[in-house]
Structure 1
Amino acid sequence: MTNALPVTLGDVREAAARLKGVAHRTPVLRSRTLDALAGAEVFLKCENFQRVGAFKFRGAYNAISRLSPAQLVKGIAAYSSGNHAQAVALAARELGSTAVILMPEDTPKSKMEATAGYGAEIVTYDRYNGDRVAIGEALAADRGLALIPPYEHPHVIAGQGTAALELIEEVGELDALLAPIGGGGLMAGSSTAAKGLRPAMRVIGVEPEAGDDTKRSLSAGERVSIPVPRTIADGQAADIPGELTFSINKRLVDEIVLVSDDEIREAMRMAFERLKIVIEPSGATPLAALLAGRLERVPPRIGLIVSGGNIDAHRFAELCAA
């Protein structure tokens, strides 16, 4: 079928089976205070409690676990400045392989140390003058490594969708699902799971105002490139949607809403003070959209994917005090 999607609900279910007992089945948090503020029943799928502190472990492990024994012996390559780097490093270690991660030379020291702590070799590049995809592909080819990109891969997308699958299996009917959009892998997987299980559910992506490449692309009907955005939501600082992810999201995502950096900070503060959880800026964007009234109509039951909590104490305090 020419109109078949590249990732299906069956793919997400298969990924869930591979991840069982390896990835954490993260908690779904409820709060009467949040329900009152939102005017709805809100269910937070807390991927900040996932291994490596973010949803990225799901996709990395699902993709790497499908490699042949011979390829695992040769090793894995990836490019990332944060959560995907750590996820690939840990997944490779869990599966008896090795990882080489291409990271920007100005990556925060804490992220490099965390990635190295999982056993990965780190190779750096200049993010302002280098093309990470081209450098990463050349690195993988030169060393005979399997390249696992952060979102442009069907097994990565299927793995990311298991977070939404777990949420819907646990709480049942939801009227809407909100998730962050950066490169689009989490949303592509989430929308595949959501629409596969509940076709009438509204799927809403959330982007920072400065990084509205997916919103513009959906309006145009094709991928639109923007200048690299400057936003505190660094995990969503994409300049163009992924080609594979956009092919899914343009068919399954109902709406994109935007939030400001100040609204993200307020959501982080609220989550810390009232819900007692730490969320990184990108992970806080769905909550920010809900609290800031960015939805035209608030449906009765809403699920939110809290995508991660990887932020050091100094940066967290700096943002929340701003």
Structure 2
Amino acid sequence: MPETPAQTLSAVPLLAEIEAARAVVARVAQVTPLESSRYLTEVLGAEVLMKLENLQRTGAYKIRGAYYRLSRLTDEEKARGVVAASAGNHAQGVAFAARELGIKATIFMPLGVALPKLQATRDYGADVLLRGHTVEEPLKAAAEYAAATGAVLIPPFDHPDVIVGQGTLGLEILDQAPGLETIIVPIGGGGLISGVASAVKQRAAAEGRTVRVIGVQAANAAAYPVSLAAGEPTLIHTSATIADGIAVAKPGLLNFEIIKELVDEVVTVSEADIARAILVLLERAKLVVEPAGAVGVAAILAGLIPASGQTVVILSGGNIDPLLMQRVISHGLAASDRYLKLRIMLPDRPGQLARTAEIVAEANANVIEVLHTRHGRGLQLSEVELELSVETRGPEHRAEVVAKLVEAGYDVQLDED
């Protein structure tokens, strides 16, 4: 009988551990739906199913690992309380799990945390303390708090119990999609994919088959491609990303070892890819998904996933700030060539604004915002600058609007921001 991955890799939790954890996690976690997507199936060229962890309690998969970790604490550890640091989903998962288990929870969050995430964490009963402007500062504060008070620090991904708890999602997916051939998983620190890959690879091996596991990171915070190339967890400099839930500068130690052995490929997606994916999920599937939870769909839309049989993409969370959603939708429309911002230099005489509006209307496009100024840089005394934001129906219509303005003799500059 061939050895399973768990028998040869010490970092990989045993399948039996994950199966046992499932009964514990089921006390709080719902069995979330697995829904088909005709649109994504057409894009990929293979059946695509979406695992809707955005509909999970607390709005994300994080409740699985957090609850399992807290359930394993001794009575003495529970009495000391727990502490965690997070900008969102981990905070809510720990706060909810602590409430259910009767444990005092203290959560450190950055000062700029989205109000809905802050309020939800407090509503679950945690004491929330705001520190710094990046995730690193709350992490440091949480570690200092644990050292000073004896509270148990609950890491977001780099702990065996957290990995096992997240792995229960993999078992759930296999039950719902027994013909699964490929699974696409978001990656931040690596807690979700290391648990899911452990469960899926071992169960599939026991059944005499293979399942391909593909991880997806935001390009602006992609520590895994660099680390895998280096052969060890490597600290990177991250750039700003809308996918803040997976913006982790260095892989977890345990997570890295599991991913190195079990994950088949890691790909990265751009900010525009992510915004477009959120828009597609809203329009096509009627689903609200946060940027970190939409990166798997972004990878499909960007053509980064090979078609290889039944494919499941995990939508890992749905906790998105409405203000961020407003901005993301605008970026998604622009990335889909359905939102056009252009600048036009006009002679400063009556009727020019009306004429440009008429041309846009003749092209069956809709002007949604206008800025008309005489004070732009580089303008001549006889010129004004017109900035138009226009809704279009796609690349061909976008090109048509621009062409009609150029044909009318206007100097048109596209604003790609």
CA distance in 2, matches of 1:124, 1:142: 18
Seen in structure 2, the aligned counterparts of structure 1 residues 137 and 310 have a Cα distance that, compared at 3 Å, is: same
Seen in structure 2, the aligned counterparts of structure 1 residues 131 and 33 have a Cα distance that, compared at 3 Å, is: closer
| Structure 2 portions without partners, runs of 5+ | 1-6, 332-417
Q: Secondary structure at the match of 1:158?
A: helix
Q: Deviations 1:5-34 (Å, cap 9, x if unpaired)?
A: 242222221221101242111110112232
Q: Could you tell me which residue of structure 2 aligns to residue 121 of structure 1?
A: 127
Q: Could you tell me which residue of structure 1 aligns to residue 233 of structure 2?
A: 223
CA distance in 1, matches of 2:204, 2:147: 41
Q: Secondary structure at the match of 1:122?
A: strand
Q: Does 1:36 align with 2:42?
A: yes
Residue type of the partner of 1:240? K
Q: CA deviation at 1:312?
A: 2.3
Residue type of the partner of 1:156? V
Contact residue 110 and residue 137 of structure 2 kept, 8 A: no
Contact residue 83 and residue 107 of structure 2 kept, 8 A: yes
CA distance in 1, matches of 2:136, 2:174: 41
Q: Secondary structure at the match of 2:189?
A: coil
Q: Deviations 1:54-83 (Å, cap 9, x if unpaired)?
A: 000000000001112232232111111110
Q: Could you tell me which residue of structure 2 aligns to residue 183 of structure 1?
A: 189
CA distance in 2, matches of 1:13, 1:26: 17
Contact residue 60 and residue 89 of structure 2 kept, 8 A: yes
Residue type of the partner of 1:314? L
From 104, 110, 113, the equivalent of 2:110 is 104
Q: Could you tell me which residue of structure 2 aligns to residue 264 of structure 1?
A: 274
Q: Does 1:172 align with 2:182?
A: no
Q: Could you tell me which residue of structure 2 aligns to residue 308 of structure 1?
A: 317
Q: CA deviation at 1:131?
A: 4.4
Q: Secondary structure at the match of 1:257?
A: strand
Residue type of the partner of 2:216? V
Residue correspondence of structure 1 range 68-87 to structure 2 within 5 A: 68-87=74-93
CA distance in 1, matches of 2:141, 2:326: 35
CA RMSD, 1 decimal? 1.6
Contact residue 229 and residue 238 of structure 1 kept, 8 A: no
Contact residue 86 and residue 139 of structure 2 kept, 8 A: no
Q: Does 1:320 align with 2:329?
A: yes
Aligned pair count reads 321
Q: Could you tell me which residue of structure 2 aligns to residue 17 of structure 1?
A: 23
Contact residue 85 and residue 135 of structure 2 kept, 8 A: no
CA distance in 1, matches of 2:91, 2:136: 18
| Structure 1 portions without partners, runs of 5+ | none
CA distance in 1, matches of 2:329, 2:313: 21
Contact residue 37 and residue 50 of structure 2 kept, 8 A: no
Q: Does 1:154 align with 2:164?
A: no
CA distance in 1, matches of 2:25, 2:64: 7
Seen in structure 2, the aligned counterparts of structure 1 residues 264 and 152 have a Cα distance that, compared at 3 Å, is: same
CA distance in 1, matches of 2:96, 2:309: 38
Q: CA deviation at 1:127?
A: 4.1
Residue type of the partner of 1:258? T
CA distance in 2, matches of 1:128, 1:266: 26
Residue type of the partner of 1:87? G
Residue type of the partner of 2:310? R
Q: Secondary structure at the match of 2:326?
A: helix
What is the TM-score with the length of structure 2 in the denominator? 0.74
Contact residue 164 and residue 305 of structure 1 kept, 8 A: no
Percent of aligned pairs sharing the same letter? 42
Residue correspondence of structure 1 range 162-311 to structure 2 within 5 A: 162-199=168-205, 200-295=210-305, 297-311=306-320
CA distance in 2, matches of 1:129, 1:26: 29
CA distance in 1, matches of 2:62, 2:134: 24
24-33 vs 49-58, greater mean Cα deviation:
24-33
Instruction: Flag the structure with larger Rg.
Output: 2
Q: CA deviation at 1:165?
A: 1.3
